[in-house]
Amino acid sequence: MRIVVLAGGIGGARFLRGLKQAAPEADITVIGNTGDDIHLFGLKVCPDLDTVMYTLGGGINEEQGWGRTDESFRVKEELAAYGVGPGWFGLGDRDFATHIVRTQMLAAGYPLSAVTEALCNRWNPGIRLLPMTDDRVETHVAVELDGERKAIHFQEYWVKLRASVPAEAVVPVGAEQAKPAPGVLEAIAAADVILFPPSNPVVSIGTILAVPGIREAIAEAGVPVIGLSPIVGGAPVRGMADKVLAAVGVEATAAAVAAHYGSGLLDGWLVDTVDEEAVAVVEAAGIRCRAVPLLMVDTDTAAEMAHRALELAGEVRA
Amino acid sequence: MRIVVLAGGIGGARFLRGLKQAAPEADITVIGNTGDDIHLFGLKVCPDLDTVMYTLGGGINEEQGWGRTDESFRVKEELAAYGVGPGWFGLGDRDFATHIVRTQMLAAGYPLSAVTEALCNRWNPGIRLLPMTDDRVETHVAVELDGERKAIHFQEYWVKLRASVPAEAVVPVGAEQAKPAPGVLEAIAAADVILFPPSNPVVSIGTILAVPGIREAIAEAGVPVIGLSPIVGGAPVRGMADKVLAAVGVEATAAAVAAHYGSGLLDGWLVDTVDEEAVAVVEAAGIRCRAVPLLMVDTDTAAEMAHRALELAGEVRA
C-alpha cells in the first residue's frame, strides 16, 4: 500500500510514528511543510522537516516534541555573547549541525529535496520525506503590533509572540510561484490513500496545499483522502491552531475544519469522540465521518488513530 | 608609543600579551595572518585572528594555546554522524559561534576587517586587530603524498599531517592580487616601532609580508623593526617552523632566520641566550642583535621579551 501524508511538525510526526506501527509494510511518502522554514544566523532551518526526521529517526526531544534529545545550547549562548540573535528561537548544539550541513549543501547547489534525502540517510526515518517544494516559501502573519500593522515571519508570531496577538492574515509568501518538489506529484498520483494528520490546517497542511498543483493532484488522484481533526472539543489538541484559523475565518471546531478542506478534497474525516455531534454535520457536507479517540498520548494511540484512518479509507473505497 | 606587530597564531598571541604588560600605555596595532584561513562546513574560519582575539580577550584554552576555554564538541560529533568532515580540525561548540557570526557578516557584505572589528567588540583585546588583507589568501603546501605531488591547504599539512612529510614549497595563493586591509599601511606609516614576534617566519609573518605593499611600507617606515627568533638552539620553540623553513631553503637557526628577513627589513634581532654565538653572525649581516631569554613560559617572561625588544628598538633609534 502506498500512502501519502501531508505533514507539519509535531502532530504530523507523532501521527506518522503511529502510522508506521499500524501499517509496517506500507510505502509511505511524506510531503513536508516548508513554509515555516527560516534563515537564522545565516543558516537554513527547516523546523517541520526536522521534526519529522528526528521523530521517526529516534533523535527527537520527546518531551517538547521538537529539537534533539540530550541537547545543549552552547553555540546559542556564545552567539548571544556576541549580541547576535534572535534569542527566542531555541537552536541547540546538536540541532545546529543539521542546519550547518543543510546550508552547506544548499550553497553547493543541491536542491532542498536532495539535501533532505541526504540528511535522512543518517536518520533512516522509514518513510520518504519530501519537502513540498524546493523553492523558497515563507509563511508571514499580518498582525497589529504597537499600533502598527505589519507582516512578521510565522516563527516570530508562533515562537516569539506565542500567538498572543490576533493573526489578521496568514500569507505563504512565494507559494504562488513555487513548484512542487521532484517526486511530490508523482507520489500523489501513485498513492492508494492520502492522509491529512492532525496538523495545523492553515500553516501546515494549508501551506502545502497552497503550492500550485498539489491541491489539484490530490483532488484528482481518485483515491481516498482522509483527514484527522486537530481540533478536539472546540480547542486545538496542541499548539495554537485556533489563532490562525480565525485569520482565515474558520471556527475552531472539528466540523468547521472539515468544511474548510471541503468535500472536493476530503473523502473522510475523523473527529474525536467528544465531538460525536459533528459527525452528522460533516456527513451532511458530503464527507464520510467517524468519531474515534484522537488524543495521541503515545505511539499506540497514534497507531490506533492511523488504523482508524486507513479503515475509513477502506470504507470510502468500497 | 605606537607599536605595530605582525602576528601569526599562538606565539604571536602570547608575545602580544607580554607586550601589553610591558607597554601598558602603548597604542598597539596587530596585523594578523589570514593565510591559514579555511572554509570548513561552509563557515569561514580564521585561526590566527581568533587565537590573537581569544588570547588577549581572556577566552583562550591556555593549555593548547588555540580554541576556547571550557570547550565542548557536540556540533562536531553531530557533523561526523552525518558523515560530514573533516574530523581532523578541532572546531568546538563555542568556537563555532565565532565562525557563524563571521560567515553571516561576510555574507551580508562586510569585509573581513569590519567583521574582525565587530568580533573584537565583544573580546576587548586591548589592541587593534587588523587582518593583513580583506582579500582571500590561502597558504598551500606542495607535498608528495602516495607518490603524487600535490598542493594541499596549509591546515591540512599542519593539523592533519602534522607536517610529517617534507614541504617542497609554500605558496600563499592569492597574495599577489591581495591588497592590504584598510588601516594596515596607515598603521605601519604611523608606527614608532614595528615588531616581529617569534611567529613562524614562513607561514605567518612571511605570508603577511607577501601581501604587496606591506613589506615595502615596513622597509620605508623609517622606524626600528625588531624581530624575535622563533628558533632556539636549532629548533622551533613550538610548532614545526623548521619544516616550512626547509621549503624556502632556510636553515632552522636563529641567524639564518634573521638573514632570511634581511637587513633591508630588520634593524634588530633577539636570539635566545643559548644562541649567543649567533649574535656576531647577525651583526655582521648588518642587523643589531642581542641574546636574551626567549622562552615564553608565562606572561611575565613574554613581557620581559617584549621589554627587551623595545629596548633594542631604543638602541637602534639612538
Comparing C-alpha atoms, which of A251, A258, A242 is closest to residue A290?
A258
- Measuring CA to CA, which residue among B65, B113, B48 is closest to residue B297? B65
Predicted pLDDT at A173: 96
Give the residue ranges of DSSP H helices in B131-253. 154-155, 184-190, 205-209, 214-219, 241-247
Residue A243 clears pLDDT 90, i.e. is over it: no
pLDDT for residue B235 is more than 90:
no
Coil, strand or helix at A169: strand
What is the tens place of the pLDDT at every residue in B203-232? 999 999 999 999 999 999 999 999 999 999
In Å, what is the CA distance from A222 to each residue of A52, A191, A225, A245? 27, 9, 9, 28
Q: Which residues contact B277 (CB under 8 A, 6 or more apart)?
A: none
**pLDDT in the model for residue A153:** 95
> Which value, in Å, is the radius of gyration of the alpha carbons in chain A?
19
Angle between helices A112-123 and A47-57 (to 10 degrees): 20
Grid-cell match 603546501, residue found: B141
Q: Tell me how far CA of residue B224 lies from CA of B195, B206, B212, B278, B318, in angstroms.
A: 8, 19, 21, 20, 10
CA distance A296 to A11: 9
Q: Which band of pLDDT confidence, cut at 50, 70 and 90, is reported for residue A20?
A: very high
Q: Cβ distance B125 to B12 under 8 Å?
A: no
Decide if pLDDT at B49 tops 90: yes
Domain limits, CATH 1.10.8.240, in chain B: 39-124
Chain A closest-CA separation from residue B208 CA (Å): 28
Q: What is the pLDDT of residue B315?
A: 96
pLDDT of amino acid B304: 98
Q: Do B75 and A93 touch (CB under 8 A)?
A: yes
Cβ <8 Å between A75 and B72: no
Question: How many C-beta neighbours within 10 Å does residue A312 have?
Answer: 24
Name every chain B residue with its beta carbon within 8 A of the beta carbon of A119. 82
Query: What CATH architecture applies to the domain A38-126?
Result: Orthogonal Bundle (1.10)
Residue B204: closest CA among B30, B26, B2: B30
Copy the grid coordinates of residue B246. 626547509
- Residue pointed to by grid coordinates 555573547: A81
- B144, three cell numbers: 608528495
What average pLDDT does this structure show over B263-269? 97
Interface test with B, best of A79, A95, A100, A124 (most B CBs within 10 A): A100
Residue of B nearest to A106 (CA): B42
Binding site as annotated, residues of A: 50
Across the range B188-208, mean pLDDT stands at 97
Res. A4 pLDDT band, cuts 50 70 90: very high
Q: How many inter-chain contacts (A to B, CB under 8 Å) are there?
A: 81
Query: B94 with A78: CB under 8 angstroms?
Result: yes
Q: Where in chain A is the domain with CATH 1.10.8.240?
A: 38-126
Tell me the C-alpha distance between A238 and A204, whole Å: 14
pLDDT reading at A314 higher than 80: yes
Question: What superfamily would CATH give domain B2-33+177-317?
Answer: CofD-like domains (3.40.50.10680)
Among the listed residues B273, B242, B248, the one whose alpha carbon sits nearest the alpha carbon of residue B260: B248
Q: What does the pLDDT look like over A49-96, one tens digit per residue? A: 999 999 999 999 999 999 999 999 999 999 999 999 898 998 999 999
**Lowest-pLDDT range, A57-66, A299-308, B161-170, B233-242?**
B233-242
Q: Where do the H-state alpha helices sit in A236-294?
A: 241-247, 254-261, 278-284
Residue ranges, comma separated, of all CATH 3.40.50.10680 domains in chain A are: 2-33+177-317
Helix/strand/coil for A145: strand
Mean pLDDT of A264-276: 97
**How far, CA to CA in Å, does A78 sit from each of A249, B68, B93, B100?**
43, 11, 9, 10
- How does DSSP classify residue B273? G
Query: How high is the ipTM of this complex?
Result: 0.91
Among the partner-chain residues A75, A103, A122, the one whose CB lies closest to the CB of B96 is A75
pLDDT, average across residues B130-142: 97
Whether residue B236 has pLDDT greater than 90: no
pLDDT the model gives residue A14: 97
Nearest neighbour of A75 by CB, restricted to B41, B42, B93: B93
| Contact between residue B53 and residue B123 where contact means Cβ atoms under 8 Å apart | yes
What share of chain B has pLDDT > 70, as a percent?
100
* Three-point CA angle B202, B204, B207, nearest 5°: 70
In Å, how far is A97's CA from the nearest CA of chain B? Answer: 5
Residue B279: partners with Cβ closer than 8 Å, 6 or more residues away: B271, B289, B290, B291
Q: Which of B43, B68, B78, B91 to mutate to test the interface with A (most CBs of A within 10 A)?
A: B78
B50 annotated among ligand-binding-site residues: yes
Looking at domain B39-124, its CATH class is mainly alpha
* DSSP for residue B157: I
Q: Is A75's CB within 8 Å of B75's CB?
A: yes
pLDDT-above-90 percentage for chain B:
95
| Residue B281: predicted pLDDT | 97
Q: Which amino acid is at A255?
A: A
The minimal CB distance from B93 to the residues A41, A42, A74 is found for A74
For residue A72, the chain B residues in CB contact (below 8 A) are: 72, 74, 93
Rounded-to-integer distance, Cα A121 and Cα A165, Å? 40
Quick check: A239 pLDDT over 80? no
